[in-house]
Amino acid sequence: MQNELVGFDKTVLTCAFFTTARRKYKMKLNFSLDKLELYLDDDILLAADQLISIQHAQSLIEIEKNLFLLRTTEGGDAIETEVQLSGSKVKMATCECQAYQENNICSHIGAALLLLLEKKKIQAETKKAAPPKQTESHTEGGTKLTIPNILKRIEPNLLIEFIANYARSDKQFALALKTRFASDLSAGSIQDHYKTLIDNTLRTVKNPKGRITPKGWQQVFTMLDELRQKAESFFKAGELNSCFELLKVTLPLIHRLMRAYDSPKAKLERRQIQLTEILRGFDGLLVSPELSQNLWDFVLVEYTQNVRHDYSSRLFDWLLKHADNSSQIEGLLQTLDTQINMCRQFVDIRDRLITQKVQLLHKIGRIEEASALILSASSSPDVLLTAIQNTFNSGDYDLAKSLCENGLKVFKRNAAATQTLEEWLLTIAENEADTEGVIFYAEKRLLATFNYTFYDKLQQLNLPTDKRQAIIKAIENQSYRIEKRDLLAAIYLEEKQLDKLTQMIVEMQSLELLRRYGVALYELDGANKGESVVDLHKKVMYEYLYTHLGRPPAQRIRQVLESQISQNGMALAERLKKELKKDFPERYSLNEELEDMMEEIERRATLIR
């Protein structure tokens, strides 16, 4: 099921407004929420779990009956996702993100569905735990056929016999029964009971060649989910030692399954992350020194065994947070050194390990050692950039600046790294109020990117006129790019160099620049009552209409006028409309577009009134 989104009706796309004002496209769905794993791709579910666990998923609210809204943040941007249910079935889903626009599915929808599934489970558990309503029986003597009535009246030995027979005929039920009650057996430890359960289950799901069958994997996943639920119940009941004993069995099992068999890794990784979240739940709880040390030892072993997987980063974050004494710190440093040496041929893994060692060195104040490690051992700028971020956050701007400058030498052939390092140097200069540094790096980035933000930074320094003119001259001398055109137009307007802006518009015959700056030029042309700006528009628009025929150019002219009206340029738009109708009476499509535009404006005005 890697390439097919089973359960999606791809022939039906419904265009409709949800609660937001802008238009969205809803993908019609039709599957039960509790069958989510069968209908969504493993990678989507894994990414969705990560969204929830790193708390990018802010809130899930019911905005209308059975219509749910999930708000997430990524890189500071807010993303809204909407899901519609019908009972327990998923009917519609939509999202604002780019992935959804391209693929009709995304991790945000996956996160919303997982949160809804969890919400439904909690509601079911709450309903189950609630005391039964006291209602009169509809049958004589209270013998209505209900489960509570049956359990009250059935002989215990008959119930036991039924459960035994049912467990023999239904493997899923047998597995759930063993998982639920394994910890209640008096002989042996919890760990031993669950190890026995796991070993017995794995024996039954393998084929003669020792491989787990597809149906067998479903049993394995059922077992893992039952074990997780049992661990969660231990945790909620405050039985932290029992919870930890169960995690000690289950997490290594997943690692074993991923290494030993040709396994569906995404589904295993998702369950691995869920169990790690239980482990993180121990944070902030009062635990005995013995349990605290046992937790540390276990996580360190798990980290070491999984160091080549991305999952290890979660374990390292836990270790970094809890490394409190010199013995733990030195042990973790030794582990990192050993793993860096073992993974020296695997560049990505080695760089990740170096980044982790740098983080640990920063935590214990060995900053110079961290810097030397970065510049001597790393082949990736990611390690350096992480160190710069940490150093900057700690307020050590001199060291952050030194790392940036050395990084520019090491990664001088890497354009992306050079850009980021120069922008870091600009940020450091701003924080140190280093005017010369700000001018140097802002100008450097301005000429490299043509991004007006950097010109704005220079403006805020109140540079002398000759310096500003020199910067503008340097931009003008660069090779032509659309970004250069847009930057110069914005600068000319800001600097009131209107002759240059007008000349650029005429030379480039740019309707786009007219659309952006026509109204501003019109307002600044008070002495001539806007005549020269109207002439400028006519010069560019007429030339465009002379060389382009049909409906599309008429629509393009309409777009320019509509944009000007939206910028409070109604007076300019009306004058241009009058001139266009007078000078192009034979252009039917142009006149039709202009009339339709004015009628639409009038309709909007009537609605407002």
Strand partners, 67: 64, 84
For residues 586 and 315, give the distance between their C-alpha atoms in angstroms, rounded to a whole number: 74
For residues 39 and 373, give the distance between their C-alpha atoms in angstroms, rounded to a whole number: 46
521-572: pLDDT as tens digits: 888 877 677 888 899 999 999 999 988 888 899 999 999 998 888 888 888 8
Half-sphere exposure of 488 (CA within 13 A, CB side): 23
225-256: pLDDT as tens digits: 888 888 888 888 888 888 888 898 888 888 88
127-184: pLDDT as tens digits: 766 665 554 444 444 557 677 776 777 777 777 777 777 666 666 666 666 655 655 5
pLDDT reported for residue 605: 65
181-221: pLDDT as tens digits: 655 554 556 667 777 777 777 777 777 777 888 888 888 88
Task: Give the pLDDT mean for 37-43.
Answer: 79
Amino acid at 557: I
Helix spans in 306-396 (H): 312-322, 326-342, 347-363, 367-377, 381-393
- Of the candidates 551, 599, 559, the residue with the CA atom closest to the CA atom of residue 576: 559
Residue 33 tokens read as 């929420």
Q: Please provide the size of the chain in residues.
A: 609
Judge contact between 308 and 350, C-beta under 8 A: no
Place of tokens 């790096």: 441
For residues 416 and 507, give the distance between their C-alpha atoms in angstroms, rounded to a whole number: 34
Question: Does residue 432 surpass a pLDDT of 60?
Answer: yes
pLDDT reported for residue 188: 52
For residues 566 and 562, give the distance between their C-alpha atoms in angstroms, rounded to a whole number: 6
Place of tokens 């518009």: 505
Strand partners, 25: 15
> Given 3-state DSSP classes, what are the helix, strand and coil percentages for the chain, each rounded to the nearest 5?
70, 10, 20
pTM of the model: 0.51
- Of the candidates 389, 376, 320, 377, the residue with the CA atom closest to the CA atom of residue 343: 377
Task: Indicate the pLDDT class of residue 12, thresholds 50, 70 and 90.
Answer: very low
Task: Give the pLDDT mean for 27-32.
Answer: 72
For residues 34 and 88, give the distance between their C-alpha atoms in angstroms, rounded to a whole number: 8
For CA atoms 310, 311, 317, 323, the dihedral sign is negative
Half-sphere exposure of 480 (CA within 13 A, CB side): 2
- Rounded to the nearest integer, the mean pLDDT of the chain is 80
Helix spans in 91-169 (H): 98-103, 107-129, 147-153, 156-169
- Of the candidates 328, 325, 258, 268, the residue with the CA atom closest to the CA atom of residue 299: 328
